[in-house]
Amino acid sequence: MEPLDPWSAENTVDQRELARAETSAAYALGKLDGRLTRLGETEERLFCADLVRRTLLGALTQAGYLDAPERFADWFAGLARGPEHIAEAPSSALGIVRALLSEMARHPWEPLARTAQTLQRCARFVADAIAPSPEEQTRETDATTGALDRARVLVEVLPADADGPLPFAALAALCTAAAHDPAFAPMEAGIRTYDTGETLVALAGLRPITPLWALDVAAGILLAQRTSLARALPMPGLFTTERLLLAHAPDRQALALAHALEVATTAHLAALDTARTRAALLTQRLAGLRRSSRAGEAWILLAGFAPLGLDQLMDAIGVSRRGTYAVSAALTEAGLAERQSRQGKVLLVAIERARANEIPGPVFTGALGTAVDEFDEAMADLDRLLARTGSQEVTGT
């Protein structure tokens, strides 16, 4: 019998390398799981705002909209059109964003669902230059929500594995199932022909893109079901066409998935660190404001998601036009935001120039004090009116 050559098979990888990769990923998952259960309220909301943004940008990038990170803020504020559409994209950028916001608005984790609902109210996404017909809109909605539903089904039908809370066998099974599913399977590149006037030239086109971003969302459900995570967090960037194409090489696929899972988990851990720093900064800078002030709520969206216009602020935190001026003044005076004028529209943009332990306490000037006093007086009038109305209802007068 010939001695076994461990490098002779295409599928073979160093098992020690695979074990190290899975151990590192499992350690990162355990660390993330522990930190998710010890979040303060402000950290939680900051993390959720950032998570929604990263999930949307990850999905758009995977769908072929590579310019989404640069265009997203102005697009969300209604100042510019969205990412450039490409022929290989499975759906429009707006369709993907709407589907994901609707999905996260129903998430079982209440802070994430509440954040997505808030962003749905205040979004001002600019539609494409040529509006699709109602039939096209229906088809796109069916395609995007259908991808999410199909990904969820693939997770639900996965067999139970013997790894316990470790998700590696289940992730590999999900990857293999997706590689053979019509909704996600990699598609062959088409052929494009061009008539030069003298001859026909045939060129290989780009491979059509399948909605793998839906699998990234479903992976969070899988991790929660396997008790690997306390929350069903989306895992942007976990599934790629290259990893699906490794279905014929299970060990290589397992190694690639372990590395990708560690990268996605580490991104969540970094976001939690950022949320903690921002929460400390917010608490210190706004220590002088009354508890009912909406300034902190507004800054969470500014810092975690994107700049907001004053009209968006009204819908996001439920204040009047006059209230937006008080919130804007408070954040500007505290050094947490600045007003920028873009295309005739005023935007509030978050500022994070120093850490909380390097910042002196807020010193409010007379201008800010006047604005805050007016806001407090208006809130007090409202409180008195509500109290008087309640008394009348109780006494029947």
Could you tell me the residue ranges of all domains in the chain?
Answer: 15-183+213-277, 290-395
**The predicted structure's pLDDT at residue 382:** 59
- pLDDT band of residue 59 (cuts 50, 70, 90) is very high
Least confident of 217-226, 336-345, 355-364: 355-364
How far, CA to CA in Å, does 370 sit from each of 77, 81, 325, 338? 29, 39, 12, 19
Distance CA 64, CA 73 (A): 18
**The predicted structure's pLDDT at residue 132:** 64
State the DSSP string of 288-350. Answer: TS-TT-SHHHHHHHHHHT--EEHHHHHHHHT--HHHHHHHHHHHHHTTSEEEEEETTEEEEEE
- Which residues in 187-197 are b (16+ Cβ under 10 Å) and which e? eeeeeeeeeee
Distance CA 330, CA 218 (A): 40
The one-letter amino acid code at 32 reads L
Least confident of 63-67, 150-154, 233-237, 379-383: 379-383
197 has a pLDDT exceeding 90: no
Whose tokens are 């005023």? That residue is 346
**The predicted structure's pLDDT at residue 395:** 41
pLDDT digits (tens, 9 = 90+) for 349-383: 999 875 544 444 444 444 444 454 555 556 556 55
Whose tokens are 């998952």? That residue is 29
| Contact indicator for 346, 339 with CB cutoff of 8 Å | yes
Least confident of 181-185, 290-294, 387-391: 387-391
N-terminal to C-terminal alpha carbon distance within the chain: 101
Does domain 290-395 fall under CATH 3.40.50.150? My reply is no
Distance CA 282, CA 296 (A): 7
**The predicted structure's pLDDT at residue 368:** 44
**The predicted structure's pLDDT at residue 104:** 97
| DSSP 8-state assignment for residue 247 | G
Distance CA 150, CA 158 (A): 13
- When the pLDDT of each residue in the chain is averaged and rounded to a whole number, the result is 83
Residue of 132 and 88 predicted with greater confidence? 88
Classify the C-alpha dihedral 364-366-372-377 as positive or negative: positive
Distance CA 238, CA 256 (A): 9
193 backbone dihedrals φ, ψ, rounded to 5°: -115, 140
**The predicted structure's pLDDT at residue 8:** 41
**The predicted structure's pLDDT at residue 215:** 97
Both tokens of 149, joined, read 């539903």
Name the pTM for this structure: 0.82
287 has a pLDDT exceeding 50: yes
**The predicted structure's pLDDT at residue 2:** 41
Distance CA 201, CA 192 (A): 8
Whose tokens are 């500022």? That residue is 351
300 has a pLDDT exceeding 50: yes
